[in-house]
Structure 1
């Protein structure tokens, strides 16, 4: 029996599990496999060198699954920033209906997503940022504790503290992210008030992940020793 939460109902997925939008790892094969299994697979937009490459990657994912998947768009300060607006347009024109935003305030792009009927899940590392994201109109937030890889923020607050603080303060679905890799982590996150979980490292070790087999084996070996 499927576990229904506000996240699954809002974003139209079967299980409250999101694959992290990992640079170089979030490709069509992995995203499609996660979505086929009932979670929310994520293609990482900036892994693709150009917006046209992203269009082709989205098409490849559609060949592998007819279930919902999303695209991650991480916006970070840069001397020579990527053409973010062109990537956003590629997502919209490709008919993707879920976008994960991260790295900076997504407000400049929200009108385009909303007009296209796209649900937005924004990644936050603090309650204050999550409240701001809710105020500007995102559909859900991924709250990242200090255990989370990628962009864990500057406050160094672990998930055990941050997740319940965020779920108490917010009215929109909250996804817990950081250090979660199995059913125990999912149950713990739900007990803390979250509506689902985001997992990255666990999905790196799958057959569909593009990382080297030796790296996968080392991660598994280290996990067994732990």
Structure 2
């Protein structure tokens, strides 16, 4: 039985207030099923699959590994060529998935269609103003992403310590705190700040069930909280990535000024990032990692990770925080 009962656990029918959000090239059936079986909520990455048909196959494969509830992430990218988002959306609905995490560009069209088919929607955003818009569109929860996060932190540079309570002050739907979470201390802090759950990404990269190359997992454990770069700021498409030779080259190009996406496109190629995870060469391309990598030192199973996290959080509340209360 879960130690923590929150609006998140009740809304999505999971045991723990812990989520594994969408991760390109990482959110595959093995890892999603492991997190799900451990009592969390995890989502497959739709765009890690080359086609809507392949996504339907991956959903079916995940169902072979778990009989619990899992979701799918659909990230709406600012790509130069049209993406078959409607077809991916249809594959999700037709496969019977009941939870979707949206992110990126305006999700209004997709939220309406998902809700029409009884699918619960979590929208991931980087500011309170965008969270309020998502709430108006009818989402069931918001994942609010602080500046510490891996991937895209937005352009406001607001860290979670301020962003989470600010969102809690104004939103009515459940809030999932994202960016900078790896252990029970983070869970307790997020709940105290007004969140209903935490979302972890980088922490799940260094787990036994994650299928990325062992050399990448080792690099995460060896890194500290300073070992990331925020690239593409000049394009107002900021992305926090693991610091490596390629991220440093991107920053050098941006420093020259008057940079267009075409100037760095070959460096930030998603296929090169995929190669990092598959081949283990951490300088092959850009790959996402959050500042929280400085807190990651081991490679547990997902079941052990969630158990340790919840037990640590419970212990902190019972033995540390309650012990600080004075009744005199």
TM category (shorter chain) comes to over 0.9
The answer for the alignment partner of 1:217 in structure 2 is: 218
The answer for the alignment partner of 2:280 in structure 1 is: none
Which range moved further: 211-220 or 14-23?
211-220
Unmatched segments (≥5 aa) in structure 1: none
Secondary structure of the structure 2 residue equivalent to 1:33:
helix
Matches within 5 A, 1:69-88: 69-88=70-89
2:120–2:139 Cα contact (<8 Å) kept: yes
Number of positions where the alignment pairs a residue of Structure 1 with one of Structure 2: 226
The separation in 2 between residues aligned to 1:183 and 1:156, in whole angstroms, is 25
CA RMSD of aligned residues (A): 1.3
- 1:79 to 1:14, Cα distance in 2 relative to 1, 3 A: same
2:182–2:296 Cα contact (<8 Å) kept: no
1:103–1:151 Cα contact (<8 Å) kept: no
The separation in 1 between residues aligned to 2:220 and 2:296, in whole angstroms, is 10
1:176–1:198 Cα contact (<8 Å) kept: yes
Quote how far apart the aligned CAs of 1:104 are: 1.5
Secondary structure of the structure 2 residue equivalent to 1:130:
helix
Quote how far apart the aligned CAs of 1:218 are: 2.2
1:16-42 Cα shifts (integer Å, max 9, x gaps): 101021000000110000000000011
The separation in 2 between residues aligned to 1:212 and 1:20, in whole angstroms, is 20
Matches within 5 A, 1:86-165: 86-165=87-166
Quote how far apart the aligned CAs of 1:203 are: 0.4
Matches within 5 A, 1:143-222: 143-222=144-223
The separation in 1 between residues aligned to 2:110 and 2:219, in whole angstroms, is 39
The separation in 1 between residues aligned to 2:172 and 2:111, in whole angstroms, is 19
Highest CA radius of gyration, 1 or 2? 2
1:55–1:90 Cα contact (<8 Å) kept: yes
1:153-199 Cα shifts (integer Å, max 9, x gaps): 01000010100000110000000000100111000000000000000
Secondary structure of the structure 1 residue equivalent to 2:61:
helix
TM normalised by structure 1 equals 0.97
TM normalised by structure 2 equals 0.67
The separation in 2 between residues aligned to 1:17 and 1:7, in whole angstroms, is 9
Matches within 5 A, 1:28-43: 28-43=29-44
1:79-134 Cα shifts (integer Å, max 9, x gaps): 11320000000000000000000001211112221121110000010000000000
